[in-house]
Amino acid sequence: MAWLLPIAMLAALVVDRIFGEPPARWHPVVGMGWFLGLFSKRLLTLAPAAAFSAGALIWCVGAINVGLLAAVLETSLIYAFKPWEGWLGLAGCALLLGLLLKPLLAWRMLSDEVGAVEAALAESLPAGRARLARLVSRDTANLSAAEVREAAIETLSENLNDSVVAPLFWFMLAGLPGAAIYRFANTADAMWGYRGEWEWAGKWAARADDLLSWLPARITGLALLGFNFKRWPALVQQARHTPSPNSGWPMAAMALILNTRLAKPGVYVLNEAGAEVAPGDLARAQGLALRALLICAAPLAGGAAALRGLL
């Protein structure tokens, strides 16, 4: 079934575009967050060494169980459709596998939420700040309209990798278990991967996410630039300005392709010589992100077919 994974990718993206996210009670990423939340308060009461060990153990237990469940589901589907020879069986199996993959990626929700920030800004600056606060962890109370748009574009760029390209990348390599473990890792990083009180309890989660996102983040950055390798040196230079080893790549690429300045006050400035973000740039960023997704989808699907064909 060399074409099983590519067709499942297509099915997942189509379902995402038409239907968006499933209800929270059925959403696997919500379930991952619930599992991690069971231990959050307790982890913060532990001494550094114990917090690190416990955080690593909980992460490993969660990742193994998520991966095993995904493997059982994928394998069961393949065996269930094995008697159905030809394209009919392949299409049925791929469609169901795509339905299982869909909750592990979220392009429509990401694009809609970012677009809603611009719509809120059209009402008032306080409304735009409030809408942005749903997407970012930074304090939005005193941001200007340009800074609100900057933060929204940064979120769109970073999560283009985290919520779309990286899950597809790991699905290409390892099927549904790969995508599921990646999303678990990304969820753990989003909940625990901070400095301060989470410095030790969340260190394993942060480093695991860094490792799993390393290559997809760079692919996403290049895709945003249309795989124009002439701009690689500029991308490398700008991406290094962020403390994260990965998030700077898609954000820097977006700043370069938009020719705008993107910044988080007191933390980083990307493409400092670029123009200030203006009305209309959010819509441009959405279009560029969609283009990058489509540019990535074809080689990832082809890679999945080639890997399956060689097994």
pLDDT greater than 60 at residue 310: no
Dihedral sign for Cα 195, 156, 106, 111, please.
Answer: positive
pLDDT digits (tens, 9 = 90+) for 172-222: 999 999 999 999 999 999 999 998 999 999 999 999 999 999 999 999 999
Tokens coding 86: 């030809």
pLDDT greater than 90 at residue 308: no
Contact 19, 106 (CB under 8 A): no
Q: Decide: helix, strand or coil at residue 263.
A: strand
Tokens coding 145: 């309209």
Q: What is the rounded distance in angstroms from the CA atom of residue 53 to the CA atom of residue 262?
A: 37
At 266 the pLDDT is: 87
pLDDT digits (tens, 9 = 90+) for 69-99: 999 999 999 999 988 877 888 899 999 999 9
Q: What is the rounded distance in angstroms from the CA atom of residue 176 to the CA atom of residue 180?
A: 6
Q: What is the rounded distance in angstroms from the CA atom of residue 96 to the CA atom of residue 89?
A: 11
Compute the mean pLDDT over every residue in the chain, rounded to the nearest whole number: 95
Residues pairing with 260 in the sheet: 275
Residue type (1 letter), 55: G
Tokens coding 295: 């540019």
pLDDT greater than 80 at residue 227: yes
Q: What percent of the chain has pLDDT over 70?
A: 99
Concatenated DSSP letters for 6-19?
A: HHHHHHHHHHHHHH
pTM over 0.85: yes
At 1 the pLDDT is: 67
Q: What is the rounded distance in angstroms from the CA atom of residue 173 to the CA atom of residue 222?
A: 19
At 88 the pLDDT is: 83
Selection from 142, 114, 106 nearest residue 13 by Cα: 106
